């Protein structure tokens, strides 16, 4: 018997646009405050307050990018807030801000045509730590009955679905520090193939805890610039000594072009390319030649049908680690060739610190705002560039320039590489 063959109908690709941005970050809550802080070169890194970490349990690094003045009750019902870890609260707040920014009302979209992909690189670290201590101090019966749904990485996505009555496609990307970029890419694919009209996409993390800090410190991954916190995150600088851990969340409202135009939405930018690869090299170290990262950039640009020289701005992963910054520089050179030194590149982690699973979405927000505002935020704390990191990193001062195409890079433990391309919507 001849094998059965299936002829799939040709699939129309729907264009995807960004109509809302919600940011909860160390440099500001709300996208306007966030943006002004970045343009003014303001650092959100400071000494860690004892409300988050017992100072007696800190290792060699005592600094972080903390979200200060965050009141979950401004965004969440008090009863619900008690059942959420801090990372979930951040995610729900960011989604609320994003919807408000998009002016997306309940009646504007069929609930079954609105989905959610909000990832977390680590889940509920704070809840794990508190319940572990309770277990040993007071016994298993005193652990929270809500512990499991508070620690699960998917529960930011779950709660965003619940609080927005989003009944469409719902999932959670987990690719370490590339998590929220992966989430945006997954949401993009859902919209592109027509399985939803609106997606809330991004990521959230809150790992500034004794256990979280101890883990990264044991790996010798953190900056030790305790005497000058604001100057500690220094991507591409010769004296960089590790990343600065940070917390927060960013959620974007992504819509099909047709849906956005039908409801008269304001559009920040169009998402035109998504590239995703793996180094298949090491659990924490990137390939020194940057080939995996370069492949992700090439894939994103190929999908966007754009030559590298058409890119006006690159928001780098730029974590302020010795090998990571160098590998990314090499990757950019591979992809951009002779134009590598002409395209402005900046790392906003110099100001926010590394927001882990929230970083990619936060930096996608930067790209969209750069397109809207015709401004490129700087890489601060860049006083003595590493001779091997010799690109235009927009040192210390924002730059006014037309940005029609922006590329955002995100890389994570496990070798995950994600690149996203945003462009002026025409």
Three-state SS for 196? coil
Q: Which of 14, 62, 259, 317 is the catalytic position?
A: 317
* DSSP code string of 345-393: EE-THHHH-B-GGGHHHHHHHHHHHHHHHTEE--BTT-SSB-TT--S--
- Contact between 133 and 57 (Cβ < 8 Å): no
Task: In whole angstroms, give the CA distance from residue 168 to residue 186.
Answer: 14
Sign of CA dihedral 297, 302, 303, 305: positive
Q: Residue 193 is encoded by which pair of tokens?
A: 């193939």
Please work out, in degrees rounded to the nearest 5, the angle formed at the alpha carbon of residue 23 by the alpha carbons of 22 and 28. Answer: 135
Active site residue 14: no
- Contact between 15 and 257 (Cβ < 8 Å): yes
Task: In whole angstroms, give the CA distance from residue 179 to residue 204.
Answer: 9
Active site residue 354: yes
Q: Which of 14, 62, 172, 177 is the catalytic position?
A: 177
- Contact between 312 and 404 (Cβ < 8 Å): yes
Q: How many residues does the chain have?
A: 426
Residue corresponding to tokens 């690094």: 61
Task: In whole angstroms, give the CA distance from residue 42 to residue 178.
Answer: 24
Burial label, 309 (beta-carbon count in 10 A; 0-12, 13-18, 19+): middle
Q: Which of 14, 62, 259, 354 is the catalytic position?
A: 354
Task: In whole angstroms, give the CA distance from residue 335 to residue 401.
Answer: 22
DSSP annotation of 343 reads: S
Please work out, in degrees rounded to the nearest 5, the angle formed at the alpha carbon of residue 181 by the alpha carbons of 24 and 342. Answer: 100
Task: In whole angstroms, give the CA distance from residue 186 to residue 172.
Answer: 9
Task: In whole angstroms, give the CA distance from residue 267 to residue 165.
Answer: 23
DSSP annotation of 4 reads: P
Three-state SS for 152? coil
Strands (E) in 162-317, as ranges, are: 170-171, 198-205, 248-256, 269-278, 313-315
Q: Residue 268 is encoded by which pair of tokens?
A: 């920040």
Task: In whole angstroms, give the CA distance from residue 393 to residue 247.
Answer: 24
Q: Which residues are catalytic?
A: 177, 317, 354
């Amino acid at each position: 018997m001849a094998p059965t063959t299936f002829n799939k109908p040709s699939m129309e690709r729907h264009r995807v646009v960004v109509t809302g941005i919600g940011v909860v970050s160390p440099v500001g809550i709300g996208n306007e405050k966030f943006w002004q802080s970045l343009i003014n070169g303001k650092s959100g890194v400071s000494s860690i307050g004892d409300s988050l970490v017992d100072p007696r349990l800190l290792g060699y690094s005592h600094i972080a990018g903390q979200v200060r003045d965050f009141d979950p009750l401004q965004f969440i019902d008090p009863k619900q807030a008690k059942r959420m870890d801090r990372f979930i609260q951040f995610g729900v707040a960011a989604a609320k801000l994003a919807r408000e920014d998009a002016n997306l009302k309940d009646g504007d979209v069929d609930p079954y045509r609105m989905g959610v992909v909000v990832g977390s690189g680590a889940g509920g670290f704070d809840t794990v730590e508190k319940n572990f201590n309770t277990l040993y101090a007071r016994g298993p019966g005193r652990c929270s009955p809500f512990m499991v749904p508070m620690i699960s990485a998917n529960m930011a996505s779950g709660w965003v679905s619940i609080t927005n009555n989003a009944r469409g496609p719902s999932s959670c990307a987990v690719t370490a520090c590339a998590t929220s970029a992966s989430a945006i890419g997954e949401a993009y694919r859902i919209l592109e193939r027509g399985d939803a009209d609106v997606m809330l996409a991004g990521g959230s993390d809150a790992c500034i805890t004794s256990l979280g800090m101890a883990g990264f410190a044991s790996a010798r991954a953190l900056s030790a610039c305790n005497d000058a916190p604001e100057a500690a995150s220094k991507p591409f600088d010769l004296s960089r000594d590790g990343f600065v851990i940070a917390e927060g969340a960013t959620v974007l409202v992504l819509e099909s072009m047709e849906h956005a135009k039908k409801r008269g939405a304001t559009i920040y930018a169009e998402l035109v390319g998504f590239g995703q690869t793996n180094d298949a090299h090491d659990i924490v170290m990137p390939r020194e030649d940057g080939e995996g990262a370069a492949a992700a950039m090439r894939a994103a640009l190929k999908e966007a049908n754009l030559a590298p020289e058409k890119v006006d701005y690159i928001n780098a992963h730029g974590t302020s680690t010795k090998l990571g910054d160098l590998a990314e520089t090499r990757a950019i050179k591979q992809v951009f060739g002779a134009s590598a030194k002409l395209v402005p590149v900046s790392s906003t982690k110099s100001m926010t610190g590394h927001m882990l699973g929230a970083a990619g979405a936060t930096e996608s927000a930067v790209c969209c705002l750069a397109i809207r505002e015709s401004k490129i935020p700087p890489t601060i704390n860049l006083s003595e560039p590493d001779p091997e990191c010799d690109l235009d990193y927009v040192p210390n001062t924002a730059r006014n320039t037309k940005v029609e195409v922006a590329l955002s890079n995100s890389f994570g433990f496990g070798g995950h590489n994600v690149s996203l391309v945003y462009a002026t919507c025409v």
